[in-house]
Amino acid sequence: MTQPRPRIVYLYLAIIVVSWAGNWPLMKLALDDAPPLTFVLLRLVGTIGLMAPALLILRAPLLPVRGERLGLFVVGQLQVAGFLIFSIIGLAILPAGRAIVLAYTMALWAIPIELWLAREAPRRGQLAGALVGFAGLILFMNPGLVDWSDWRILGGNAMLLLAAICWALGSVFYRRRAWRSTFWAQTFWQLAVSTVLVAVIALPGGLPGGLGEPIRWSPALIAILAYNWIVTTALGYFLWNKVLSVMSAGVAGQVMALTPVGGFLLAAAIFGGAITWDVGLSIVLIVGGIILTLRTR
């Protein structure tokens, strides 16, 4: 018999949803001052720089226990490095509202990945929720909303879908094992190994948007980075690991699909732009998929 989830997990999810929803418009603003990959590198380096001394002061372990480091390395490369790299490139190309909706289709990919890899098969209600959500995604991607003749726009959409798939894969892999390491050690290790990969990619001469392009150190950029260091990265990934310890990636991801709703509306308020019936209906379908999933026991 499946044990009931502790209620505290819904508080964790609420904190993640609210903090990550507001972060996408903020990151879009930050890209006016910093190249995309440089911003991701600064985000990770700053988080590591704050977490390491804090954990040492608390005498908490920085590294996972032996035997878990490789597994958490793979998880980190997918749900941290892969997600952050692909999503920031897509965000630099597309409006923040559209970017956040595509990136948070993670749950739509997690359900079939769980069917393929995980020990726990999704139930009928979860599959129904995924189908409804996929209908929302298809509507959101219809030719009337995407300029299919612009390869740059298509590339931006592809980057965000890749980000969602990386996140889903990492989350499902995480759920396949019971970890003995503390959540803070898991979080620190995933962020640390991701920082190395992002640094290599962002080196001068690497991809566009890396360290070879100038940074404008504005008060807004510093404030957004500080918010990312403390709230969305250190705390966010810590809480996300705790959520995955008691909830499947598909179900947790369906709840996380609430994030783009708030982020999309906030982005529309900040940057302007009309909310067409197509977009509105696609969001309703995605939220409907969440409701179907959570009603499944």
Mean pLDDT, rounded, for 115-142: 70
Helix or strand holding residue 197 (H, E)? helix 183-202
**At residue 140, does pLDDT exceed 70?**
no
Q: Of the ranges 109-113, 127-131, 158-162, 240-244, which one carries the lowest mean pLDDT score?
A: 127-131
CB distance 284 to 102 below 8 Å: no
With 80 as the cut, is the pLDDT of residue 4 above it?
A: no
Q: Please indicate whether residue 17 or residue 107 has the higher confidence score (pLDDT).
A: 17
pLDDT value for 242:
94
This prediction's pTM: 0.84
Residue 113 has pLDDT above 90, yes or no: no
Residue 16 lies in a domain: no
Task: Give the model's pLDDT for residue 234.
Answer: 96
Domain membership flag for residue 14: no
Q: What is the mean pLDDT of residues 146-173?
A: 87
pLDDT band at 157 (very low <50, low <70, confident <90, very high): confident
Rounded to the nearest angstrom, the gap between the alpha carbon of residue 108 and the centroid of all alpha carbons in its chain is 13
Average pLDDT over residues 113-133: 70
Per-residue pLDDT for 212 more than 90? no
Q: Is the pLDDT of residue 177 over 80?
A: yes
The answer to whether residue 110 sits within a structural domain is yes
Average model confidence (pLDDT) across the chain: 83
pLDDT at 158 over 80: yes
Structural domain range at position 78: 22-294
Has residue 129 got a pLDDT over 80? no
What mean pLDDT is predicted for residues 203-224? 76
Tokens representing 99 are 């970017």
Length of the chain: 297
> For the residues 142-158, what does the mean pLDDT come to?
74
Per-residue model confidence (pLDDT) at position 288: 78
* Assigned domain for 208 exists: yes
Give the range with max mean pLDDT: 68-82, 87-101, 212-226, 262-276. Answer: 68-82
Residue 54 has pLDDT above 60, yes or no: yes
Considering only residues 78 and 277, tell me which one the structure prediction assigns the higher pLDDT. Answer: 78
| pLDDT above 90 for 144 | no
Residue 263 located in a structural domain: yes
- Give the whole-angstrom CA distance, residue 200 versus residue 193: 11
Residue 207 has pLDDT above 60, yes or no: no
pLDDT of residue 1: 42
Per the structure, how many domains does the chain have? 1
Q: What whole-number distance in Å separates Cα of residue 54 and Cα of residue 14?
A: 25
Whole-number Cα distances in Å, 224 to 22, 31, 34, 151, 162: 11, 10, 11, 30, 25
Task: Kindly state the tokens that stand for 257.
Answer: 């699909």
User: How many alpha carbons fall within 13 Å on the CB side of residue 26?
Assistant: 20
Whether 209 has a pLDDT exceeding 70, the answer reads: no
Please, are residues 248 and 119 in contact by the beta-carbon 8 Å criterion? no
> Is residue 7 in a domain?
no
- Whether residue 120 is predicted with pLDDT greater than 60 in this model: the reply is no
pLDDT at 59 over 80: yes
C-alpha to C-alpha distance for 12 and 256, rounded to whole angstroms = 11
Please indicate whether residue 216 or residue 205 has the higher confidence score (pLDDT): 216
Burial readout 35-50 (b: 16 or more C-beta within 10 A, e: otherwise): bbbbbbbbbbbbbbee
Comparing 107 with 220, which gets the higher pLDDT? Answer: 220
Please report whether residue 286 resides in a domain: yes
Quick one: pLDDT at residue 222? 96
In a domain, 9, yes or no: no
CB proximity list for 68: less than 8 A, separation 6 or greater:
177, 179, 180, 181
